[in-house]
């Protein structure tokens, strides 16, 4: 019998939100130079995703972690590992067409979809190789974490 893995420590939700706001501010101030790529020592990159608000219809931008899977980018709709789905994912469910910016490059139009079945398992295992605590993080939530595939349009 194995002992269950203890859930990793999470900072309070307010801290997670503030940290991402600071990151967005650094992105704006630097003109996008504060986004790292998947070639860094972390093994994953950061991108700026611009969605259409599901109720407002206005543009909304967030900074997300991503992995590359061929021409596609893969993100986890984890909401900082707190309960509920992040607003950006709810926006993509309503309006799957979005725009991605990577490391100061030109904006890239994408279409979002949820990975399911074997594709989800494969992409989850790639993320798990980058972050060995991924399953423990996911276990802190009662909802399944969507694996989001951003395909070039």
Is 1 part of a structural domain of the chain?
no
| Average pLDDT of the segment spanning 30-41 | 58
Expressed as residue numbers, the domain containing 52 is 36-152
Q: Is residue 18 part of a domain?
A: no
Torsion (CA) 94, 116, 38, 133 in degrees, nearest 10: 110
DSSP designation for 40: S
Asked if the structure places residue 7 within a domain, the reply is no
Residue 116 sits in a domain whose CATH number is: 2.30.110.10
- The per-residue pLDDT for range 37-58, each reduced to its tens digit, is 555 566 788 888 999 999 999 9
Distance, CA of 5 to CA of 131 (rounded, Å): 14
Judge whether 58 lies within some domain. yes
Phi, psi for 14 (deg, rounded to 5):
-65, -35
51: CB partners within 8 A, 6+ apart: 59, 60, 61, 62, 88, 91, 92, 95, 98
Q: Which residues pair with 64 in a beta bridge?
A: 47
The answer to whether 73 and 129 are in contact (CB under 8 A) is no
pLDDT tens profile 61-87:
888 889 999 999 999 998 877 788 999
8 inside domain:
no
pTM over 0.85: no
Answer whether residue 30 is part of any domain: no
Which letter does DSSP use for residue 136 in this model? Answer: H
How many domains are contained in the chain? 1
């Amino acid at each position: 019998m194995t002992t269950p893995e203890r859930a990793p420590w999470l900072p309070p939700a307010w801290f997670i939100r503030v940290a991402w706001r600071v990151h967005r501010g650094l992105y704006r101030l630097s003109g996008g130079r504060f986004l790292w790529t998947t070639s860094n020592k972390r093994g994953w990159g950061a991108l700026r995703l611009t969605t259409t608000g599901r109720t407002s219809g206005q543009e909304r931008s967030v900074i997300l972690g991503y992995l590359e899977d061929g021409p596609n980018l893969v993100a986890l709709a984890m909401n900082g590992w707190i309960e509920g789905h992040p607003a950006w994912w709810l926006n993509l469910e309503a309006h799957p067409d979005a725009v991605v910016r990577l490391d100061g490059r030109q904006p890239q139009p994408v279409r979002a979809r949820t990975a399911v079945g074997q594709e989800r398992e494969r992409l989850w295992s790639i993320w798990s190789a980058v972050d060995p605590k991924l399953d423990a993080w996911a276990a802190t939530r009662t909802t399944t974490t969507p694996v989001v595939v951003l395909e070039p349009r």
